[in-house]
Amino acid sequence: MSDPTPTPTEPSGRQRFSRRALLGGAGVGVVAAAGGVAIGRATAAEDTAGSKIVPFRGDRQAGIITAAQDRLHFASFDVVTDSRTDLVAMLKAWTDAAERMTRGEETVPGGAVDHGDYTPPADTGEALGLSAANLTLTIGFGPGLFGPSASDPARRDRFGIAGAKPAALVDLPAFAAERIEPSKSFGDICIQACADDPQVAVHAIRNLARMGLGVVAVRWSQLGFGRTSSTTQSQETPRNMFGFKDGTANLRAEQTDLLDRWVWVGAGDNPPAAQWMTGGTYLVARRIRMDIEPWDRANLLEQEQIVGRLKGSGAPLGQEGEFDTPDFNVTSYGAPMIPRNAHVRLAHPDNLGGIRILRRGYNFTDGSDGFGHLDAGLFFIAFNRDTGKQFVPMQQVLSRQDAMTEYLIPNGSSVFAIPPGVRAGEWWGQQLFEG
């Protein structure tokens, strides 16, 4: 530990810390130094060995095809100001703080423990000593930011951006068998925080919410305790609360041609006013309560017939391995081995005109429901290039025909436009507000 140089102890016993001086060259967040203890978070330069830092800037936002981290905190905000100036100022401040937090740093240098001028600390501090934990922060803009939307049909165009609204950013239609609760749905801005340490994700959302005081208010937020999707070919397929591997046939980061076709917005997708979305994508978030108690009383054969896959291996019925191609024509005793209303059949691209989406969901458990059951399920997140042409028709088929629907209660629903990545010097939304 070289040159810790804490400043002399003040009368109150407090010390000033210089994170950079104290932590320079050390790969840890908490360092015992002669005469005191220095506190800080690991920085980019220090963390390269463990590679727990996902770059914040680039052509695409991180957190979309980034290898899915284990934990999630997703927040949806209402914009509570009519001031474009305030909103833009917040987005600029958010961008700086978000970039720093993804590096494992406080929202501003020394923000948690610098007494400075006795203003409130600029960082809430609960992530001190924790690594970056592969944190990604992904921003999105909801329909309501541009004017009328499902959550507020009378809203006007407060920020003068109605003309920049991409045609594909529209509220979802009603689907069969859903019970959407407005308190778990909609929103003007979303932040998806994914990390391998949930405290790092919660810290990030909490600090952005705090910085947004007077500009945004948390409309709803959702923790996910375990990922249910893989987004790279090297990730093992995790299991959802039905106990099944989920997302075996998901798109992967390596499938760049398919991503270009089904996820990333192309320049030809929008008129000039909405070119800020080129290279972006659209996020669909659905809070899907699972009726796990009735599910757990279904026998294994029934469960596998509903899913269309084996519970153990994840193989499509009639096949051997998880990644074997489903054969929907195989029959057993005269009936299709994969039933006509099986999830895997209905959701398969071959049966949806080739449609693909990129899934990135998480398991959740939010206490109990007051009737003796756990409130648990899947927080479904998907990215697609045109929600109306991909997620919507897929969900229209599934919500009407999928045998699994009997065990699902979608009660939260939102859509957001996810702009492309922030390039050097840019701030979140700059192309929308200044484009």
Residues 54-73 that bind a copy of itself (CB under 8 A): 71, 73
User: Does residue 367 touch a copy of itself according to CB under 8 A?
Assistant: yes
Nearer to a copy of itself, 41 or 356 (CB): 41
Residues 93-152 that bind a copy of itself (CB under 8 A): 112-115, 118-121, 123-129
**DSSP string covering 298-352:** S-HHHHHHHHSB-TTT-PBTT-SSTTSPP-TT-EETTEESS-TT-HHHHTSGGGT
Selected binder of a copy of itself within 311, 397, 433, 435 (CB under 8 A)? 311
Q: How far is the CB of 177 from a copy of itself (least distance, A)?
A: 23
How far is Cα 19 from Cα 109, in angstroms, rounded to an integer?
A: 8
Nearer to a copy of itself, 280 or 316 (CB): 316
| DSSP structure class, residue 316 | B
Half-sphere exposure of 140 (CA within 13 A, CB side): 30
CA distances from 126 to 35, 66, 199 (A): 24, 25, 8
Q: How far is the CB of 389 from a copy of itself (least distance, A)?
A: 31
User: Does residue 86 touch a copy of itself according to CB under 8 A?
Assistant: no
CB of 52 closer than 8 Å to CB of 132: yes
How far is Cα 140 from Cα 160, in angstroms, rounded to an integer?
A: 18
Selected binder of a copy of itself within 46, 47, 78, 105 (CB under 8 A)? 78
How far is Cα 248 from Cα 239, in angstroms, rounded to an integer?
A: 10
Q: How many residues lie near a copy of itself (CB under 8 A)? A: 97
Q: How far is the CB of 66 from a copy of itself (least distance, A)?
A: 20
Nearer to a copy of itself, 23 or 274 (CB): 23
Q: For residue 33, what are the contacts with CB-CB under 8 A and spacing of at least 6?
A: 1, 4, 6, 22
The stretch near a copy of itself (CB under 8 A) out of 138-146, 168-176, 195-203, 393-401 is 195-203
Selected binder of a copy of itself within 41, 100, 206, 360 (CB under 8 A)? 206
Q: How far is the CB of 248 from a copy of itself (least distance, A)?
A: 11
Q: Retrieve residue 334's tokens.
A: 């005269």
Selected binder of a copy of itself within 366, 389, 409, 433 (CB under 8 A)? 366
CB of 40 closer than 8 Å to CB of 28: no
SS3 188: coil
User: Does residue 202 touch a copy of itself according to CB under 8 A?
Assistant: yes
Burial (CB count within 10 angstroms: exposed 0-12, middle 13-18, buried 19+), residue 247: buried
User: Does residue 250 touch a copy of itself according to CB under 8 A?
Assistant: no
How far is Cα 276 from Cα 284, in angstroms, rounded to an integer?
A: 19
How far is Cα 11 from Cα 127, in angstroms, rounded to an integer?
A: 27
User: Does residue 243 touch a copy of itself according to CB under 8 A?
Assistant: yes
Selected binder of a copy of itself within 44, 162, 352, 374 (CB under 8 A)? 374
Residues 385-424 that bind a copy of itself (CB under 8 A): none
Q: How far is the CB of 408 from a copy of itself (least distance, A)?
A: 16
- Bridge partners of 276, per DSSP, are none
Selected binder of a copy of itself within 63, 314, 339, 361 (CB under 8 A)? 314
Nearer to a copy of itself, 136 or 222 (CB): 222
Q: Retrieve residue 150's tokens.
A: 């499902």
How far is Cα 379 from Cα 228, in angstroms, rounded to an integer?
A: 9
Q: How far is the CB of 73 from a copy of itself (least distance, A)?
A: 7
Which residue, 276, 296, 315, is CA-closest to 418? 276
Selected binder of a copy of itself within 177, 321, 325, 423 (CB under 8 A)? 321
Residues 18-47 that bind a copy of itself (CB under 8 A): 30, 35-39
User: Does residue 336 touch a copy of itself according to CB under 8 A?
Assistant: no
The stretch near a copy of itself (CB under 8 A) out of 48-56, 60-68, 145-153, 299-307 is 299-307
Torsion sign over Cα 60, 61, 64, 69: positive
